[in-house]
Amino acid sequence: MNQFIQKYYDTSIPSLGSGGAVKVLSPATVANVVCGFDILGFALNEPNDEFTISLSDEKGVTIINDDAYDLPLDPEKNVSGAALLALLEETPDIKGFHFISKKKIKPGSGIGSSAASAAGAVVAANHLLNNRFTKEDLVRFAMFGEKVASGVKHADNIAPAIYGGVTLIRSIFPLDIVSIDAPELHVTVVHPQIEVRTSDARQILKQRVLLKDAIKQWGNIAGLVAGFIKHDYDLIGRSLEDVIIEPVRSILIPGFDDVKKKCKEAGALGGGISGSGPSIFMLSRNEVIARAVESVMKEVYENIGLAYHTHVTTINQQGVKLL
């Protein structure tokens, strides 16, 4: 076994620095929120990934996967590793990190698996470093992980994972992140057991948009943000419409139109594709409706004969949590 393979496949714990070890829970997230492509997102209370990080006397990042997903161990090809390498560029006093990944958010599920990995890694590292970096700094580092995953630095999953709650990415360069107060909402998610790669889902998007569609989309984005701030459920429901991205991406998700129609009939405010899919999310006023929506989702996929997982949860106001 050559030295490179030996370094990244050795599961022994390297000697630790004085910082000990930190364990965190990193949340799943819903990005886009129907009409807010690349600019809106919110964190979920379930599911979560679990990560443990410690300082290392070895230079760079050593990764161990304590799960079934067999993600790359080379840190430059791993979303957590890339985020930590970016952080290390600005911490010359630190040699490296030892990182243990226990993922429960399935890669390619559309609920921010790569963002959970990148955000969890940098938040945990920041705790080891006595919180020397701001949340905005951490988003900036974690975006290097998103670039590994999708080829693009985007923050609509990263920001809510780190800040918690609902976030608006007003700008990427420079970063301008706005936390949005939102009413209590229940979230139902169904994950059909197929994979839609973020990079593939981006490639099929139209590169030009009609002005009339852009105007309609801008109105929906503004209405959704206003609905959150005003705690106006009806306005939220009316604004959960996407005339640009969803019509293209929904063709990749079996049963999408049926799920959306029947969930709204069951009382959901609305919803759509979570991130790039294949997961579909719906927002509801209360848990009773959210559970009814879950039943509808199950019925659709049982009729199709496609395996699925569901989650009924709420918006996570904290983001990555220290254990």
Report the C-alpha gap between 30 and 110 in whole angstroms: 8
Catalytic pick from 29, 50, 52, 146? Answer: 146
Report the C-alpha gap between 64 and 12 in whole angstroms: 9
Known catalytic residue: 134?
A: no
Q: Where are the beta strands (DSSP E) in 103-175?
A: 166-171
Would you give the DSSP letter of residue 315? Answer: B
**DSSP bridge partners of 21:** 54
Of 306, 126, 100, 162, nearest in space to 298 by CA: 306
Known catalytic residue: 46?
A: no
At residue 14, what are phi and psi to the nearest 5 degrees?
Answer: -70, 165
Of 86, 87, 154, nearest in space to 114 by CA: 154
Catalytic pick from 188, 198, 294, 313? Answer: 198
Report the C-alpha gap between 158 and 156 in whole angstroms: 6
Known catalytic residues? 146, 198
